[in-house]
Amino acid sequence: MRYFPAMHRVVALVRPPQSTFELACAAQVFGVERRGLPTRYSFGVCTERPGPVATYAGYDMVVTRGLDALDRADTVVVPGWLPVTEPPSPAVVGALRRAHSRGARVVSICSGAFALAHAGLLNGRRATTHWALADELAARFPRVQVDPNPLYVDHGDIATSAGAGAGFDLCMHLLRGDQGARYAAHVARTMVMPPHREGGQAQYSAPPHPAQVDGTLAPLLEWVTERLGEPVTVEAMAARAGVSARTLTRRFADQLGTSPGQWLLAQRIAAARDLLESSDLPVDAVARRVGLSSATNLRRRFLNALGTTPGAYRQAFQAGPRAAQGTRRMRHTSAAPSSTSAAEVRNSAG
């Protein structure tokens, strides 16, 4: 546990247009007084140009404090930085660097990692951000060791979180480190949420859509997906396609960017995810149905791929009867299916 003065000052740096959910993550954890708990934090908000600050939620909020508030903060939170293509001004970069150099903890939520990267605070460090933004962060800041898998990365003086909801995970983690597990558990109960979530953000990203495949590979993929519960091997796949295993491997690498074995495993994990969400089948039965033979094997594969267990995944994502009925109604009334593009995800990522 870290020990701080009686009142630890947390200041969030916002910018127009501000994503309100990411700001709420920090405000809910650090800015709410709770019955039965001593108040250990003060929470405030600042911006480069005090006054009305537009939000993505369709309203403006009035922020009265300027960047000088960061000079007195014990923890600085950057709750998103959208659009990520617009770098922070020299004044913001300077304020972040000063805060860090004098010992303040600097924290980003979701796309806020881009502001920290612009300030050079992530150079040579492991960091994370929303899974849809990770490649862009890595490309623009090659000195940052971008890891798209964890919900958060904490170095003590610098911490970054994955997508918006992971802001709660990071803030709860910091609270637990500051004040202890009992204090954090009390806060979590008041928010009706777990004090700690298992796994990484891979379990929250959509399963990847396969790249465009040509006529030589598409029939094989369809044939395999209809037989996931059977003991399909790479040799059987090659025989079905009428090519050698080496040729099949080359085609998979060219068209899908992976090997036949890895592609097959990914399909089995995706099918397991669907069954865990939509059925009450025992884990062992799920494993057999998707061709992973046993609950032990499924757990191992799940941990390696998603960073969590099948049981924890089911607890987080299984839809109840009411949710399932709502889903059926939406499918019935929709004129056409919709999909979320990568650009839409980037725009909605905090």
Q: Is the torsion defined by CA of 120, 124, 126, 131 positive or negative?
A: positive
Q: Would you say how long the chain is, in residues?
A: 350
Residue 181 corresponds to which tokens in the numbers above?
Answer: 């597990």
pTM: 0.65
Count Cβ atoms below 10 Å from residue 329 Cβ, excluding itself: 10
Question: Angle at Cα 266 formed by Cα 261 and Cα 271, nearest 5°?
Answer: 130
Q: What is the reported pLDDT for 205?
A: 54
Residues in the chain with pLDDT values less than 70: 1-6, 194-216, 319-350
Of 235, 303, 295, 296, nearest in space to 264 by CA? 235
Residue 53 corresponds to which tokens in the numbers above?
Answer: 């600050």
pLDDT per residue over 100-153, tens digit each? 999 999 999 999 999 999 999 999 999 999 999 999 999 999 999 999 988 899
- The domains located in the chain, with CATH, are 8-203 (3.40.50.880), 218-318 (1.10.10.60)
pLDDT per residue over 299-324, tens digit each? 999 988 888 899 988 887 775 433 33
Residue 278 corresponds to which tokens in the numbers above?
Answer: 């939509």
Q: What is the reported pLDDT for 125?
A: 94
Which residue is listed with tokens 């150079």?
123
What's the rounded Cα separation, in Å, for the pair 295 and 87? 48
